[in-house]
Amino acid sequence: MKMEIAEEDGVTRVGLVGRLDTPGVDAIETRLTAAVVPRGVRAIVDLSGVEFIGSLGLRMLITITRALTRRGGKMVLYGPQGFVAQVLETASLDDIIPVRPDATSALSAVQA
């Protein structure tokens, strides 16, 4: 599981590549949480390079979103492909965390 975090125009951009299964979540959860939650940032998360997401991956995204919302921040996901898009749809994740097709629409959603 690879993760890149960058700041641009007041928005934290997170890029994830790999499998968000149990080892994948273990590898990034602490770092991702520390990077976005304490400062209550606005963050967009690129999921286009994620090939698998399990229940622990969903749990990580939901937990971070809920913590972020309490601190006045916001997180928007974008670009899920194939299998991951299907899992997010099944979980109705869009009811909890906004999911957008691409970076441009994610940016406008997070700044809204």
Partner 1 sequence: MAEAASVRDDLRSYLVVLENGEPVARHAVGPARLTVGRDPARDIVLDDEKVSRLHLQAVLVGEEVVVQDLGSSNGTFMDGGRITGPTVLPAGHWVQVGSRLIKHERRSQREVDREAELQRDLEKARAYVQSILPPPVRTGDVRVDWFHCPSAALGGDAFGYGPLDRDHLVAYLVDVSGHGVEAAMHSVSVLNLMRQKALVGVDFRQPAQVLEGLNATFQMEEHGGLFFTVWYGVYSRPERLLRYGCAGHHPGILFALGSGLQRLQTRGPMIGAVPGQHYRSAEARVPPGSMLYLFSDGAFEITTPEGRQLGMEEFLPLLGGEGAGTTGEAEGIYRAVRARARSGPLADDFSVLAISFD
Q: Where are the alpha helices (DSSP H) in 2-102?
A: 22-36, 55-70, 82-90
Question: Does residue 22 interact with partner 1 by CB under 8 A?
Answer: yes
Residues numbered 78-107 forming contacts with partner 1, rule: CB under 8 A: 83, 86-87, 90-93, 95-96
> Which residue number, 35 or 58, has a Cβ lying nearer to partner 1?
58
What does the block give as tokens for 30? 């602490």
Q: Single out the residue of 75, 72, 52, 54 nearest to residue 63, CA to CA.
A: 75
Binder of partner 1 out of 5, 17, 27, 56 (CB under 8 A): 56
Q: Which stretch binds partner 1 (CB under 8 A): 4-12, 52-60, 71-79, 98-106?
A: 52-60
- What is the Cα Rg of the chain in Å? 12
* Residue with token string 């994830």: 16
Among 52, 69, 103, 105, interactor with partner 1 by CB under 8 A: 52
> Among 64, 44, 49, which Cα is nearest to 109's?
44
Residue that the structure tokens 């990034």 belong to: 28
Q: Closest separation between CB of residue 75 and partner 1, Å? A: 14
Write out the residues near partner 1 by the rule CB under 8 A: 21-22, 51-52, 54-56, 58-59, 62-63, 66, 83, 86-87, 90-93, 95-96
